[in-house]
Structure formats: C-alpha cells, structure tokens
A and B are shown apart, each in its own frame.
Chain A
Amino acid sequence: MTEPEATSVDGVVEAADDEKVVHRSLWGDVWRQFRRHKGAMAGLIVLLFVSIASFVGPLLLPYDAVEADIKMRNQGPSWKHPLGTDNLGRDMVARSMVGGRISLLVAITAMGLAVSLGTTVGILAGFYRRLDGLLMRLTDMFLALPVLPLLMVIFMLFRDSLRAAFGPEQGIFMLIVLIIGVTSWMQTARVVRGEVLTIKQQEFVAAAHSIGTRKRNVIFRHILPNCMSPVMVAAALGMAVAIITESALSFLGLGFPSDFPTWGRLLYDGKDFISITPMRVVGPGTLISLTVLSVNFIGDGLRDALDPKLRSR
C-alpha cells in the first residue's frame, strides 16, 4: 500500500504503545492517492490560482473593473495593463479577475445542482424499480427539450420579476444557475442509473441486505461510492459545460448586464474589437479553457483516487 508500515526491530513493544492498528479513513486514502496524480495536482493548483486571483486579486489591483477612464481606452498590452484596456479604458486584468468570480461561482453551483439532481434521479430510478419508468421518461422529456429557445423564453418570462425580487445580479445569477443545472442533469442520471442497476445485483449489496443494513445506508455506503467514477466524470464535464454555457448565454446577450463582467460577457464585448485589441478576447478565452482543462484533470484524478484497485499502483 501507499503508506510504509511502521517498522520496528521490536515489533511487539511498538504495537503495544502505538495504539495497535490505525484505522485509515477512505478520504485520507483518496487524498493520498490524489496527490500522486500529477495532472490532477497541476489542475488543482491552476484552479486554486485562478480562484484566488478572482476573489482576492481585484482588491490588490490599482484599477477598478467598472469605472471608465476614457483617456486610456483601447490600449494594447503594456506593463501597466498586461491585457490592455477596453473601449472604455477599463483594465482587462481587473475585469477578467472580477469576471472570474461570477463564472466560477456559476460553474460550481450549476455543476453541483446538475450533478446532485442527476445522481439523485439516477439512484432512485436504479434502486427503486417502481420509480424507474417514471423518472426515466422524465429524463427523456428533459433531453428532448431544445435548450436555447427554452433559455430565451425563460429569460423573457422571469428576468424582470427575479431582478425585482433579488436585485439585478442575484436575480440573474439564480436564473442562470437554475437554467444550466436543470438542463444538464440528464446524462448523469442515465449513466448513474445504469451503474446502479449493475451494482444492485452484486453480492455485496445482497450481503448488506442480509446484515439488515437500512436502505438509506445501502445506498450511501454501497451503491453511491461504487458509482462515484461516472459521477466524478460528470461533475468535471458539468463544470466545464456550465462555464461554457454561461459564456454562451452572455455571448448571446442573455446573461448578466453589460456593466457586470463575466468571462463570457468579456468575450462578447471584446469580439467587436478583436482587430484593435485582440488581447481582450485572448485573455478571458484562455481563462475559460484553462479552468475547464484543470477541472477535467481534477475529475480524472478524483476518479482514479476513489477506486481502491487503482489506488495501490
């Protein structure tokens, strides 16, 4: 195994005062294995860096992300403005950092919503035969919904009332998270259901029943941990999809208001100036790709770390 055994010449004495065997926890092992996955660690570091820069960075910069400075407009990259400025003279580094806040928050919450919704539906459908037909037809129904027209309609219908209720930013944030979450859980549900159906037939689940394990514990102790790999993959992909969908929404002008930067919004605003200040597009574009890539690597590493059979290697 990964941990070198405590070796001692006098094993008996050692065992006596060393509280005998240390009972390792699952998550301790997972972390130990995760650290050995180079790609995943690199992804984690990049993601942490991007997050810290987004949430702490704007406080340290001398520029404001929203306030215009017309004299400095459409600057190319320079030492003062590494990514240049936009057509209102706002520093692109500051705007990218602030934009990252919303993009990352949307990505994490929407992914969390989609994955937990999908996993719940998948497990219920796979575990309880009575719910299977109903839940899977519901999933099919959601899959058949055309997403973009639906988004537009939802935006038209709810934007103003949500804005009025929660303020412009919170309202739109909730709407976007909800829309992305509700329209992207179906793949997870299907994959998880399939996985649950096979796991349910295995003898260790019968063993758990014969022990008298409560159904809830059978699900959380036996079924769920064994379908973690598709869930992890779904989570990583879901986060990537959420960032991209948010970008696409902003790009279509359906997302956050224009004075409220997100990565997608920055791309949308920057596309008209791509010939004057190409860095306006390159900056946020690179950040989106980098984040999606690192999330995928993290998901990969987590999946491997969660499988004890791969862990010992």
Chain B
Amino acid sequence: MGTDTLVSVRDLKKHFPVTKGALRRKVGAVRAVDGVSFDIERGQTLGLVGESGSGKSTIGRTLLRLEEPTEGTVHFDGVDLGGLSPGDLRKTRPRMQMVFQDPHACLNPRMTVSSIIGEPLVEHESMSSKERNARVEELLGLVGLKAEHANRYPHEFSGGQRQRIGIARAIALNPDLIVCDEPIAALDVSIQAQVVNLMEELQDLLGLTYLFISHDLGMVRHIADRVAVMYLGRIMELADVDALYEDPRHPYTRALQSSAPVPDPVVEATREKIVLEGDIPSPSNPPSGCVFSTRCPEAVDRCRSEVPVWREVSPGHGVACHLVDAPAS
C-alpha cells in the first residue's frame, strides 16, 4: 500500500531442527514461523497477536536477525538484512531495537542503570563519559525516571520501572524501529497502561515505528494501526485495526475476540462466545491444509486438505481462509 515502507517481510520461515540421539540426527523441525509476509509503514504500529506458541516472539527475533531465518527475506528501509555481513549488520543495529518481555531478565543485574542505558552509546557512539552521562539522564527523563536512578541496580526497581529502563535503552540511539516483544505481559494492569502510554508518547516524539507483539487484544487495539493475527506460525488475518476489530473475517480472529471479556456486564452476560476446543497443535507436526482446521468451528473438508491462499477481502485487509470470499459482504 503506502510508499514509505520501513520493514518488509516476505515469506519468512524459521524452523528449529529437532535432533535425536548421540549423533544429533535431524528427525524433524519445529516450524515456529512458517511463511509470514507483512509490511510496516514508517511511524506506524503493527500489532502482532496470537496465543502462546504461535511464533510471535520468533518473528520479532528473526526480524532483528537475532535468529537466522530459515527462509525468506526481511528488508529494512530497503536493505536486505539477510544479506548483510556481521559488520554491516552491527552498523544497522542502532536503527532497530527491541524491548523485551521479562523486565526482570532483560537487564543485567550486575550493571547500574546508567551503564545499562549507556551500553548502546558505548558501542556505537564515541562520547566522553560526561556526554554519555548527560545523555543517560536525558533518556531517564524521557521515560519518566529520575536522574538519581542512574546509580541504582535493576533489582531496586519495580517491574514497570524496569520496563522503562528497557525502553530507555532501546531509544538511546534514536532507532527507527522498535520490536516490542510482549512488553506489558509481565506487568500489573495499572502499570500496563502507563507503559503503553509512554510508548505512544515516545512514538509521537521520536517518530518511532513499532512491531508490537502481544496477546492482549485490548491493548493492541489501543496502540496499533494495523494488526496481524497469528496462529501456529502463520498469519491468519491482517488488517487495519478498525477493520479487524469491527469486521473480523477469519474464524480464528472472531474466536480470539470473543474470548476477550467486554467491560459491560449486560453485554458480557448475553453475548455469544465462541469457545475453541483443544490446544494449539504442535508446530513440529502441524495439521495438513489450514493449520487452524483442527479447531475451527466452521471447518469443511476442503480446509483439511488444502492450504488456504492469502486473499484480500478489501484493500489492506487480507485473510487466509477458504470460507472467506474475495470482495463480498
């Protein structure tokens, strides 16, 4: 669609080999991500939702090439990341950063906050320690922490504060893209809103582009411009946030949405809920045909034998489902 595409992912696959025995014979593969394509426009937020094990985090890591993709390409601002040498990749790193899920594990417990936030500056900028400390204090201010916090260690902070430190580290080098890997999943609900609002403020202030990975549909609706729904390593539906929430086309999207409670007791008591049976299948042995066919309440024979192709039901609204017909309704 738009002309200013920052990230372009095409047919990305990440398979983790399963080995067995003393000789490490390869006996299979976990298809964590299995053929995913999407674009992110500059300055926008793509929400990536799905249940645990659907490969959301793997997409985030593969996109930043923290994991080597098995197949497929990632273009970042027109450059194919897969083709970069380690040295060139390192030079591109400042432009794409990551905020992690677990605020307790993503900060080195042996480093002070100022050295944590200062690390990207040490690695990529030649600053005097005075300049660096000034920048660290500026960053602390940006994420709503105080300059005196610079001297403390991560364990002296609450989860929300730690997540702010993680965000400060991510924005230290003025990146274009930040991959947010469930940044709010480990936080209290009251803190979640603060952190999400902070991220939105920073997006406006610094012109950031987010890939926002989450399983919290409500939060994604709040922050995202476009939303991709993942299931078992594939994207089921991808649309603008309003289109997806007002007019979900894929049965899985509908089921996901109906699983989220509505903050109105009357509606909540009367609305029809789609309850999915069973668990998400193992990504090492995905079902044939449509991966969702084993749990889909509307599945027909065709779903079990034929992989659904990606079709656009309206401009910018794509679905992978046999039951959805091209431009209709």
Contact = CB atoms under 8 A, between A and B. Distances in A.
Contacts of B66: 206, 209-210
A207 B108 CA distance: 9
Interface residues of B, number: 40
Contacts of A207: 98, 100, 106-107, 166, 169
B148 A208 contact: no
Contact of B120 (A22, A26, A212, A226): A212
Contact of A206 (B61, B93, B94, B150): B61
Interface in B33-78: 61, 64, 66
Given A208-B119, A214-B90, A23 B151 contact: yes
A166 interface: no
A82 to B, nearest CB: 46
Nearest to A201: B105
Given A206-B100, A207-B169, A210-B97, A26 B119 contact: no
A309 to B, nearest CB: 5
B64 A23 contact: no
Contacts, number: 98
B4 interface: no
B169 A1 contact: no
Interface in B79-135: 89-91, 93-94, 96-98, 100-102, 105-112, 114, 119-120, 123-124, 129, 133
B103 to A, nearest CB: 9
A1 B155 contact: no
Interface string A209-251: 1111110010001100110100000000000000000000000
Interface string A15-33: 0000011111010000000
A214 to B, nearest CB: 7
Chain A's interface size range is 20 to 34
A211 to B, nearest CB: 5
Contacts of B147: 20-21
Given A202-B105, A203-B105, A212 B112 contact: no
Given A206-B66, A308-B110, A212 B155 contact: no
A209 B61 CA distance: 11
Contact of B108 (A5, A22, A226, A307): A226
Nearest to B94: A212
A161 interface: no
Interface of B: 61, 64, 66, 89-91, 93-94, 96-98, 100-102, 105-112, 114, 119-120, 123-124, 129, 133, 137, 147-148, 150-153, 155-156, 166, 169
Interface of A: 1, 5, 20-24, 26, 202-204, 206-214, 217, 221-222, 225-226, 228, 306-309, 311-312
